[in-house]
Amino acid sequence: MAAWVRGESRTKRVRVLLFIYFMALVPFSCSAAGMHGSHHKLEVQKHLKSFNKPAFKSIKSPDGDIIDCVHASHQPAFDHPLLKNHSIQMRPRFHPEGIFDKNNATTKSKQSSNSITQLWHQNGRCPKGTIPIRRTKEDDILRAGSVERFGRKEKNKKIPHPHSADPDVTNGGGGAGHQHAVVSVGGNKYYGTKATINLWDPSIQRPDEFSLSQLWIVGGSYPGHDLNTIEAGWQVFPHLYGDSNTRLFVYWTNDAYQTTGCYNLACSGFVQTNNQIAMGGTLSPVSAYAGSQYDITILVWKDQTNGNWWMKLGNDVLGYWPSSLFSYLADSASTVQWGGEVINLESNGQHTSTQMGSGHFPVEGHGKASYFRNIQVVDGSNNLIAPTGLGNIVSQPNCYDVQNGNNGDWGNYFYYGGPGRNQNCP
């Protein structure tokens, strides 16, 4: 009996010691987790400080953005090692001219680029000598998952190339990924493009999907890691911006999206000279189905004297991509493309219901389907000319499609887009 009591007592002592031991580990574990969380927060704050340059003035936008007016010489572009001693070129040396530049052609759209504003303009403007930069917030970085991935496209991102090995592009593959409805031209040297793009606010099924309408200026080859692109247009991308607003964007890469390039001014590269337009800023107003139509005109062209690629929105010259950022595009582009792109991540094996363009098929025509009009390319003599040999690239025509046309007012144009999932696109 005494032996049993001693054994029970010994067991209790062991239990007590184990309890004390594990209780002692709890605050250590919590402290370690706290240290890890604190370290992560410090890293985020450190990078926020590098992203957000000291502002001469800050403007609160109705959509929740904060626009910082930063001295042009302090902008993120000059953090790039190739641009440390770069002298800003404040204006282009020439503007290419084309048949639609005199504004004497009638158009079916009621309003165009000159009517488009950004929401932050309601509360102020940036003074001369500064540029407007959309402030990066902690939540923006947290949504990206890491500082390194903030503002960047995923690696191995596919572009709509007619000779691409990407099954989602060439074979209409049904797998998750990028899907396109695009018009393309190649087989020559190109020094820019100009197009007028219809503005919409497509519905996005998941925050990590997007819908965009853009132009691509492409040099190099794909697949491979030497692809150069310059990209510009509008997009709806909740994961990047934290909302479903229609926003102006630019992008570039010189290694097929592997390590270079990012959206807007999230990393160094694009040199902004304009003090009125914020990259990533909300565009307003947008088109309504069977109602008023709005569009923007984007021109990207190469200064063949120093090689810089300039961008113009409507009548506003925004800035340029320095030639030193690129390999192939330091000379010229080999392909130019225009159109829509979505991410289809599927849900329960079904195609996404994320819309492209207006969310309606091109067959519905003006006022209902989204369009690109007055498509031109810049030739070796710095003239804007009509492209020849246009071809269509459509991933899944039952989900999103393209319909081409040509007339005196709109030149080369096309309607494009679609609803995503429907009875023919399950």
Residue closest to 110 by CA, chosen among 231, 281, 291, 272: 291
Q: How many helices (H) and strands (E) does the chain have?
A: 4, 20
Residue partners of 226: CB distance under 8 A and separation at least 6 = 220, 254, 255, 256, 327, 328
Cβ atoms of 134 and 280 closer than 8 Å:
yes
Distance separating alpha carbons of residues 268 and 368, to the nearest angstrom: 38
Distance separating alpha carbons of residues 38 and 44, to the nearest angstrom: 10
- For 328, left (φ over 0), alpha (ψ -120 to 50), or beta? alpha
**Is 341 part of the annotated catalytic residue set?**
yes
SS3 content of the chain, % helix, strand, coil (to 5): 20, 35, 45
**Helix residue ranges, H only, 63-157:** 138-144
The catalytically annotated residue of 138, 209, 341, 364 is: 341
Distance separating alpha carbons of residues 324 and 309, to the nearest angstrom: 10
Give the Cβ contact number of residue 315 at 10 Å: 8
Q: What is the DSSP-derived secondary structure letter of residue 36?
A: H
371 alpha carbon, distance to own chain's centre: 19
- Strands (DSSP E) found in 191-246: 192-198, 211-219, 228-236
Distance separating alpha carbons of residues 25 and 31, to the nearest angstrom: 10
Give the catalytic positions in this structure: 231, 341
